[in-house]
Structures are given as C-alpha cells and as structure tokens.
Amino acid sequence: MSDHIPTGFHAVTPYLLLADPKGFIEFAKAGLGATERFASYDDGRLQHGELTLYGCVLELGQPQGDFAATKSSFHVFVEDPDAAFARAVEHGATALYEVKDHDYGERSGGVQDPFGNQWYFAKVIDAEKRAT
C-alpha cells in the first residue's frame, strides 16, 4: 500500500453527502452490514464520517453551503446476493429488480435505499461470460 492512501482505503473512495446522515448510518449498519469507523459532528451536523462496507470504506458528510445532498449507485460483489438483497429490503430498501441470473454471467438484484442510493448486489456465476 502506498503511503499516500490511508489504511483500509482504495485509491477511489465513494463519498456521499446526506441530508440525514444519522439515518443513513443506521440503515447501512442494519441493512447492509456496515461498521461505523469514525464520525465527527459539529453542532449536530456530520462533518465527516466513515463506514466499512464489504471490505471497503465509504465516506460521508452532511451538505452545507453550496454543497447539495448526493445520490449514487453501487455495484457490490457479495457471496450471497439473495441474502444481501433480502437484508436491505428488510431494513427499508425498495426492490428495483429481484435477484436473478443474467446472461452476462452474474446473479444480481437491485434495491434503492431510503435515501435514494441504488445498490446492486452481484455474484459471478459464469466467469467466462463475465470476462467478455
């Protein structure tokens, strides 16, 4: 690992600005299995937070000034996409499409969390198709 990248991070790290960061953190812990690494609040506003999620770090904060809340999409490789999908839905996510096998070599399903972010849980089921 290079000394310019903090421990546990990758060169590209998602960063969300959330109108309700506390709500998102609770959803991420319960619905996605995230672990809270760090959170710094000032006058009740999240200045900077970090979650560990599926072996990666997700950074987050609360918008202020000219910055607006953001929404994003995440394609996450997991051992069991059916279980990841069910857990997210159980904790408030809305199904976008049910988990199924796709002709491009993945089994995946998609949800939208209560904060507008989309999560696609996938597992490679045919590496030859996935590589092409």
Helix, strand or coil, per DSSP, at residue 129: helix
pLDDT at residue 131 is higher than 80: no
Closest CA to 78 of 110, 103, 50: 110
Return the pLDDT at 98. 98
**What is the reported pTM?**
0.91
Check pLDDT > 60 for residue 1.
no
- Nearest CA to 29 out of 62, 64, 72, 60 is that of 60
**Average pLDDT of the residues of the chain:** 94
pLDDT tens digits along 38-77:
999 998 899 999 999 998 999 999 998 999 999 999 999 9
pLDDT higher than 70, residue 30: yes
Strand order in the sheet with 73-77: 73-77, 118-124, 106-112, 94-101
Token pair for residue 29? Answer: 């812990």
Q: Which residue has the higher pLDDT, 121 or 127?
A: 121
Q: CB–CB of 123/129 below 8 Å? A: no
